Amino acid sequence: MASLNDLVHILLLSCSLMIFNTGCMSMADSLSHPPPPVKSAYYPSWLSDDFPPSAINTSFFTHIFYAFLVPNNVTFKFDLPNSTALLLSNSPPPSITNIHQ
């Protein structure tokens, strides 16, 4: 006959296996529907003269991070100079598919 200590070990092992199997099932379920990938890039402000934002082929990215803002040393807000704001407001060039339509 099994001792109480053996029964406790069997019960703990059974619970551990049940938790492991449940975790594997939920992990497998989440892997079958992965979120879409994030394709991001940094656009450094000092490239604006040689490579304006409108030259970025945005079809390659889901996110483009404008870098690098410097906080105002008094207000600690991120202020865009007018020249940078104007540069960033330009619309991108039409894509090849739009030109042929």
CA–CA separation, 67 vs 60, rounded Å?
18
Pair 55, 30 in one domain: no
Q: What is the per-residue pLDDT across 13-44, written as a single tens digit (0 to 9) for each?
A: 454 444 444 455 556 566 788 888 999 998 88
Pair 44, 82 in one domain: yes
Q: What is the per-residue pLDDT across 53-98, written as a single tens digit (0 to 9) for each?
A: 788 898 999 998 877 677 888 998 887 777 677 766 766 555 544 4
Q: How many domains would you assign to the chain?
A: 2
Tokens of 74: 């008094």
Pair 49, 95 in one domain: yes
Domain around 52: 40-99
Helix (H) or strand (E) holding 44: strand 40-44
- Find out whether 86 and 64 touch, Cβ atoms under 8 Å: no
Band of pLDDT at residue 47, cut at 50, 70 and 90:
confident
* Cβ atoms < 10 Å from Cβ of 36: 6
CA–CA separation, 24 vs 22, rounded Å?
5
